Each structure stands twice: as structure tokens, then as C-alpha cells.
Chains A and B, each alone.
Chain A
Amino acid sequence: RGQPQSHDEL
């Protein structure tokens, strides 16, 4: 599942 994860959390 190549969902580019937007790492907006810490």
C-alpha cells in the first residue's frame, strides 16, 4: 500500500 504517509505527527 504505497500511501505516502504525511508524517504530520511527532
Chain B
Amino acid sequence: MNVFRLAGDMTHLLSIIILLLKIRATKSCTGISLKTQELYVIVFLTRYLDLFTKYISFYNTTMKLVFLGTSISIVWYMRYHKVVKQTYNKDQDTFRHYFLAIPCFLLALLIHHEFTVIEVLWTFSIYLEAVAILPQLVLLQRSRNIDNLTGNYVFLLGAYRALYLVNWVYRYFTENHLVRWIPWLSGLVQTTLYADFFYYYIKSWKNNEKLQLPA
């Protein structure tokens, strides 16, 4: 464990906590893409299959349970909570997220480290996480005004994988140059997808104005 990875995990955890707080405190999920949240549940379920078979550390197991629990509860709130589900922008959140999941799965069948169920599904989760934010970014462009909590949520979500990139650079130089192409390239794609959001987020923060993405 290095400081960059810990910072990345904490940033990721903070983003999820901010989203849960927004939903529970305001009883609203306006501006949040249910499609992206559902993709994240799939990412965690397919990535943490070895949760009960492989013990890495107390921290690792705890965080996996927290990520699984919070992401599933967010989807539950948006789908079934009587008040929250009324605030879901169903007609704007129209991204066909299966168009994202299927190519990722096919790619995982083609390009992976080893052809086992655990490894292929883990690889699928890495590819899927890279593109899972797309429905959310599309929804933000359609939303007239983005509330601060939603903006912060997306920013932290993008920042966590950027910190993971730094963690991988650090591990490359400190762990006898172990190469991990799959997460590296996927993480690079994932972080790049946030590039224009980062630009508008930082600009709105500097000029102290409302965050607005160009349509």
C-alpha cells in the first residue's frame, strides 16, 4: 500500500459518501444517472468475486464490502425508494449502457492475463469501469443546472482513478518494474474521459460560478 493508492481509495470512498449523503439528505437523485450506478454495481460484483476466497488484508476486505454495499444501496434508493425514485430524470438518462457492457465483455474474452472465469470477469470489470461514467457525463450535459454535490461527486470519482495512475507509476518503479497493461491503459482511458469535465469544473470553481457543461 502506498500513499497514492490510499489517497485514491479515500477519494473514491468520499465520492460515494457524498452521493449517498445527497440522496439521503435531499431525498433526491436529480442529475444522477441510474445507468452509471448500475454499471458500478456490475463493476464491483465482477471485480470482487474472490472476496471470500482470497484474503488480502482487513482493509481490502472491508473496503470491498463498503463499495459493494454503498453502490447497491444507491441503486436501491434510485429504483425503489418511494420519494427518491420520483426525482430520477428517467427521460434524460437514456444512455444504452448495455452497448457499453457487451463490447467490454467481448474485449475481456479476447484480451486478458489468463483465461479463467475470475480473471476474465476481473478484466471485464476493469474495462467496464473505464466507460461506466459515460451515461453520467451525458446526463450532466443535458441537465440545465448541476448542483454542487453532483459536481463534487463526479470530480472525486474522476480524481480517484487519476491517483491510481500515480500509484501504478510508483509501484512500477518500486516493485521491480512489474507491468500491468490492462488496468494502466483502462485507467488512462477512464481518466481521459473526465478531461473536459475537469476543465469546466475547475473553471467554475475558479470563477466562482455555477458548473455548466456545454451541450
Contacts and interface: CB of A to CB of B under 8 A. Distances in A.
A10 B114 contact: no
A4 B113 CA distance: 7
Give the secondary structure class of B's interface: helix
B35 interface: no
A10 B113 contact: no
B196 interface: no
Contacts of A9: 5, 164, 167, 183
Interface string A1-10: 1111101111
Interface stretch (B22-30, B60-68, B91-99, B207-215): B60-68
Contact of B64 (A1, A3, A5, A10): A10
A3 B114 CA distance: 7
Given A8-B56, A9-B164, A3 B113 contact: yes
B180 A10 contact: no
A8 B54 CA distance: 10
A2 B5 contact: no
Contacts of B60: 8, 10
Interface in B109-160: 113-114, 119, 122
Interface in B1-16: 5, 9, 12
A2 to B, nearest CB: 5
B120 to A, nearest CB: 12
A10 B1 CA distance: 11
Contacts of B114: 2-5
Interface in B159-196: 164, 167, 180, 183
Interface of B: 5, 9, 12, 47, 50, 54, 56, 60, 63-64, 67, 113-114, 119, 122, 164, 167, 180, 183
Interface of A: 1-5, 7-10
Given A2-B113, A2-B114, A10-B60, 19 more contacts: A1-B113, A3-B113, A4-B114, A5-B114, A5-B122, A5-B180, A7-B47, A7-B50, A7-B54, A7-B122, A8-B56, A8-B60, A9-B5, A9-B164, A9-B167, A9-B183, A10-B9, A10-B64, A10-B67
